[in-house]
Amino acid sequence: MSEINQKILAKIQNLLSLAEDGGNDEESQTALLMAQKLMLKHRISQDNLSDTVQEEIVLKSLSVYKRLYWWEKSLIRIIADNFRCMFYIQSNRLPHQNSVQRKIVLMGYPEDVELAYEMFHLAADTMKYYSKIHIQQLNEVEMRNPDKANLRKSYYQGFMDGLKEKFNLQMQAMRQENEKYALIIKTPKEVEDKFHQEITGRLSFSQPKLNRENHAYHDGFEKGKNVNLNQHQLND
C-alpha cells in the first residue's frame, strides 16, 4: 500500500475509532458515511497519477468459520457495492463437526478490502446497538405480541434498507459535485475479472419472513437513513 493510501486509511481508522469509546452510535453512523466520501475524494485525487503501481488483489475473511446469519449476507452486499469489493461464501466442515461452517470472504485491492472490512463491522455493531434500544423501549402490549421474536429481524432489515438508501442519496449528491464519483465507486474491472475467473458457484440466500409494515422496520429504516454528516471534517 502506498504512503498516501496508508495515511488515508489511518484517517479513516480514526473516524472508526469513534465507535469504540463507549458506543456513541451517532458518531458511528457519521463515520460510516464520512469514510466512504473520504475514500472517494482521495480516489479522485490519485486518479491522474500516471506512475501508480498496480496493487495486488487480496482476500480477507470477515470472521472465522461459523454459522452465518441472514443479515450478514444482506449487509455485505451493501458494503461491497459501496466500497469497491467482491465477496463470496466459503464453506468448511471438520471431521468432528456435525454441520457445515461458513465465512464471508472479501476480494479487492488492499485499501478497499481493509475499508470494507471495517465498514461491515461498524455497520453491524451500530445496527445491533439501535435494535437493542428499540426492543428495550417496547411497551407492555408490544412485549406480549407473539411475533416479538421477529421484531429484531424487521428492525435489521429496515436499518439495512435505510443505510442503502443513505449511500444512494450521498452518491447522488457527490455526483452533482463531481461526475467522476460515479465511476470511482464502481468495483475495478480487474477485481471483477479475477473474481469470475476464480470463484464458482452461486450465493445461496434464504430471506426470512419479516414484516416491513411494523414500527420496528420503520424505526430501523429511519435510523439507517438519517445520518448527520460533518462535511467540514472532510476537507483535508
The number of folded domains in the chain is 1
Q: Does residue 24 register a pLDDT over 60?
A: no
Check residue 22 and give its pLDDT: 46
Tracing cell 504512503 back to the chain, one arrives at 3
Span 79-107, average pLDDT: 88
pLDDT of residue 98: 78
Distance CA 105, CA 52 (A): 26
List, for residues 174-207, the tens digit of each pLDDT value.
778 777 777 777 888 999 999 999 987 666 666 7
Let me know: does 9 contact 1? Beta carbons within 8 Å.
yes
By percentage, how much of the chain surpasses pLDDT 70?
70
Q: Taking the mean position of all CA atoms in its chain, how far away is CA 160?
A: 9
Assess contact for 164 and 170: CB atoms under 8 A.
Answer: no
Q: Return the sign of the alpha-carbon dihedral for residues 42, 45, 51, 54.
A: positive
Torsional sign, CA 7, 86, 81, 211: negative
**pLDDT tens for each residue of 111-144:** 889 888 988 988 888 888 888 888 888 766 566 5
Alpha-carbon distance of 15 to 20, in angstroms, equals 10
pLDDT of residue 47: 54
Domain that holds residue 22: 3-234
